[in-house]
Structure 1
Amino acid sequence: MTVQTRLDLADRQEAADLAAFLGRLLRFDRAAAVRLQAVPGADGGGVLAVFGRLPLGGSAVLAVRTVRLAGLDGSADLTVSAGQLLESVDEPGAGLGLPAPVTGPAWAGLLPPRSGWRPLGRPPVERVVGEVLAAVAEFKRRTAEVPEHHRTRQAVDAIADEIWSRPLAAAEGLPLRAAHAAHAIGFLRPGAELAAHRAGAWLRLDAPAGSVALRTAAAPGAGLGLSPLR
């Protein structure tokens, strides 16, 4: 495996989109790490997939952003600091520096499978956003009703897990947690075309801006296909 010190992105918009994605991840966890996987493309370019973890409630969801590369000498697979990666993004020069690898967190060792995805449907983004906003309002109301001296992290997480574990009415087979994560990371944009998939114990919600994936139980396999999302 060849690891470059800098990657040239396809254009400035790819750099801006990646910076925005990393910035949102860091709002959830200032010490966040991300796993990077880059593969060359048949056209001489390549694709970089950036995996991050969203700690929502007592569970977590993986958020994935892919960006097109102008070129790639060889494949790369490493885990780095999200903060250092954000600092290395060169938007005017459409480039990206690769920080030194860090010891990866446990989630980085088990990613969604590359193949075997079965479609679950194409939920309308307006309906999905409506369900998420209603659930957020319920979460805020119910947590506010808990007496302050009982409003522990455990109590708040229990409310969150109960709400986000409910099925998403707009997409059979997906929990609200997937839609909440996609909304929180900025993937549920007006007019976006969404697609839901399942592969074994893994569930995935795709949008033009990125994907979110979560496991309903222990699942084998690693690596998400590195196809551009737009």
Structure 2
Amino acid sequence: MTNTVTLASEHDSADLKTFLERADRLGCEHVWLIGAGTALVAYVAVLTPQGLLDIAPTVLGMRIFERSEDSSLDTVVHVRAMLDRLAHDALVIPLPVGQAGIAWTGVAPPRGGWKPTGDMLEIELHLTAKAGIEEVAQANGLGTNIVTAVREEVWRRPLNVQHTEAAITVPAGIAFAGFGLGFFGTGIAQVTQSGAWTRITTERGHILVK
């Protein structure tokens, strides 16, 4: 497996840097990098269950970048370590030391089998995220346990998927992830499903939830 990533252009490098900076601000510690042909697939975990009894969803942000190589790659590294390396060389990036035992990387989202199930307005997801952030912020100062409980309650709330034959909902955490990662504009997000996973796709990236 390669110990470097060579991006195809400065545009890809700038996009990766922005993606990782936003992930870092959301508190994402790790990024999962997978090489698929000349594509570099990058996942970050915005929301994950904390412990066996936690029923919170797993919400991942994903973006795809182009690299100039076709080599095997499957590693989990620290977000800040990748940002440090991007600051030194924008195109040829030595990979940080891989991290083992990161729970949310135990099961990768499927690469195929995605079936259209509906859509959602990006502006509505944007507004949902802002309202949820304000609600969580109002609990600040009330104690760690209360803030944690409010945060979990807010981001577990179901949102309806539109234009679908069956009643499909996704947790509001997908709005938080998409807003924080800068994935929303004024368009329509496409919703697809594969097995236990649901994917919300915009022109700027993908949000996956299980």
Q: TM-score, normalised by structure 1?
A: 0.76
The match for 1:136 among 130, 133, 136 is 133
1:126-183 alpha-carbon deviations (Å, 9 max, x no partner): 1221222233333334x26xxx5xx222211221222222222464422211111111
Aligned length: 199
Please tell me the root mean square deviation across aligned C-alpha atoms, in Å: 2.4
In 2, Cα distance between the equivalents of 1:57 and 1:77?
A: 23
Q: Which residue of 2 aligns with 1:221?
A: none
Q: Which residue of 2 aligns with 1:206?
A: 201
1:25–1:158 distance in 2 versus 1, CA, 3 Å: same
Gapped runs of 5+ residues in structure 1? 41-45, 216-230
The match for 1:108 among 91, 99, 105 is 105
Gapped runs of 5+ residues in structure 2? 51-55, 163-167
Q: Which residue of 2 aligns with 1:62?
A: 60
Measured after TM superposition, the shift of residue 52 of structure 1 is: 1.3
Quick one: which amino acid aligns to residue 24 of structure 1?
R
Give yes or no for contact 2:8–2:66 (8 Å, CA) kept in 1: yes
1:50–1:104 distance in 2 versus 1, CA, 3 Å: farther
Q: Which residue of 2 aligns with 1:219?
A: none
Measured after TM superposition, the shift of residue 209 of structure 1 is: 2.1
Measured after TM superposition, the shift of residue 103 of structure 1 is: 1.8
Q: Which residue of 2 aligns with 1:33?
A: 30
- Give the secondary structure class of the aligned counterpart of 1:213: strand
In 1, Cα distance between the equivalents of 2:74 and 2:136?
A: 38
Give yes or no for contact 2:161–2:191 (8 Å, CA) kept in 1: no
1:76-124 alpha-carbon deviations (Å, 9 max, x no partner): 1112222211212268753322222222411112121222222222222
- Give the secondary structure class of the aligned counterpart of 1:181: helix
- Give the secondary structure class of the aligned counterpart of 2:193: strand
User: Percent of aligned positions with the same letter in both sequences?
Assistant: 26
In 1, Cα distance between the equivalents of 2:67 and 2:88?
A: 13
Q: TM-score, normalised by structure 2?
A: 0.82
Measured after TM superposition, the shift of residue 19 of structure 1 is: 0.8
Give yes or no for contact 1:34–1:80 (8 Å, CA) kept in 2: yes
Q: Which residue of 2 aligns with 1:228?
A: none
Measured after TM superposition, the shift of residue 193 of structure 1 is: 4.2
- Give the secondary structure class of the aligned counterpart of 1:168: strand
Q: Which residue of 2 aligns with 1:123?
A: 120
Quick one: which amino acid aligns to residue 23 of structure 2?
L
Q: Which residue of 2 aligns with 1:174?
A: 170
Measured after TM superposition, the shift of residue 49 of structure 1 is: 0.7
Measured after TM superposition, the shift of residue 48 of structure 1 is: 0.6
